[in-house]
Amino acid sequence: MHKIALSLALLGFAVSPAFAAAPHEIKVELAAQNNSGETGDALIKPLGKGIEVIVHLKGGPKGVAQPAHIHPGTCANLNPVPKYPLQNVVDGKSVTKLPDVSMDDLFKEPMAINVHESAQDLKKYVACGDIKK
């Protein structure tokens, strides 16, 4: 019993520094907007070429495609014209690879990830998070 616990502890110590050394992924907390009750986060990971954005949202409608984008600006003052489109969030999940976008591109100006109610009701924002290093 003790041996197993000790081995796991050692493994944990051995693995953590390797993750820390890799080009670091960032997590963007997504807060609800307009009383949507939808909250979650977006994980932005560097790939060999480009980045991957994985959005998880809770509290959304079942089976409804909710458009999502990276916009210039902040959630408090968002430019309504998207910079990078993401895959629609469906049943709380969206995964997008952006091969032509680097992590550095995301920090050239303030940017935020937002999610919209639906294709029919794009003007209603349901969740948003500022991208921070």
Using CB under 5 A, list all residues that contact Cu ion. Answer: 69, 82, 114
Cα–Cα distance between 77 and 10 in angstroms, integer?
A: 46
Q: Which is nearer to Cu ion, 12 or 87 (CB)?
A: 87
Q: How far apart are CB 121 and Cu ion at their closest, in Å?
A: 12
Q: How far apart are CB 53 and Cu ion at their closest, in Å?
A: 13
The CA-to-CA distance between both ends of the chain, in Å, stands at: 41
Q: How far apart are CB 23 and Cu ion at their closest, in Å?
A: 26
Q: Which of 33, 113, 34 is nearest to 73 (CA)?
A: 113
Q: Which is nearer to Cu ion, 103 or 127 (CB)?
A: 127
Cα–Cα distance between 26 and 28 in angstroms, integer?
A: 7
Q: Which is nearer to Cu ion, 103 or 111 (CB)?
A: 111
